[in-house]
Chains A and B, each alone.
Chain A
Amino acid sequence: EVQMVQSGAQVKKPGESLKISCQGSGYIFTNYWIAWVRQMPGKGLEWMGIINPDDSEMRYGPSFQGQVTISVDKSISTAYLQWNSLRASDTAMYYCARGEGTFDWLLLYDYWGQGTLVTVSS
């Protein structure tokens, strides 16, 4: 059974750093892309970026380029989303999703994690 399991909820202060994780299981981790999607409270989905676990090829959405870092440790089938300096506006639910397809522009996000709620408040 394919599962994407994310790390637990986090409460941080502005300026702090954070790294959240997403572990895939039940499939060959390096055969599928991993995307991160943000959902701010009461708002819609926003695509943040994507990584190919096989070669660590990455792509970011324009709003997130330079704001976050996506990485992967294929030895433990885990993808990460990292901030160096959080802001209150980073408060949101963050989902990882497995991307099924040959190219990064031709993906079905078929399995999603349960979400990690990040709250940034002083």
Chain B
Amino acid sequence: QSVLTQPPSASGTPGQRVTISCSGSTSNIGNNYVYWYQQLPGTAPKPLMYKDDQRPSGVPDRFSGSKSGTSAALAISGLQFEDEADYYCAVWDDSLSGGLSAWVFGGGTKLTVL
């Protein structure tokens, strides 16, 4: 069970706006940047957002990121069928079990485009 909580599923119709949340704590989201990754079916993950709200080159501006306190969100506007994928948030956690610091991924959200 991840220290970052995401809804297991989300859905929308083409053209709609969908938001995926990622909830954490002061040791991760509250103190570090949030990153988002998209995993299309049967493929390796690819980066979607970095440092909370920055898009890597090539990522459409339909995708946007935000953060407030210990929660973050990925918004997808103008939903398209090709957006159907699993989405993961990732953050550095300063205080995990055993006193370790490490990267953690959220449990992932499966986005279905109806």
Chain A residues within 8 Å of B, Cβ to Cβ: 35, 37, 44-47, 49-50, 59-62, 65, 95, 97, 105-110, 112-115
Contact = CB atoms under 8 A, between A and B. Distances in A.
B45 A112 contact: yes
Interface residues of B, number: 29
Given A61-B100, A65-B98, A110-B47, A45 B105 contact: yes
Contacts of B102: 47, 49, 59-62
Nearest to B102: A61
A105 B97 CA distance: 17
Main secondary structure on chain A at its contact with chain B? strand
B44 A113 contact: yes
B2 A44 contact: yes
Contacts of B96: 61-62
B92 A105 contact: yes
Contacts of B113: none
A115 B40 CA distance: 14
Interface string B36-70: 01010000111100110000100000000000000
Given A44-B106, A44-B108, A47-B90, A109 B47 contact: yes
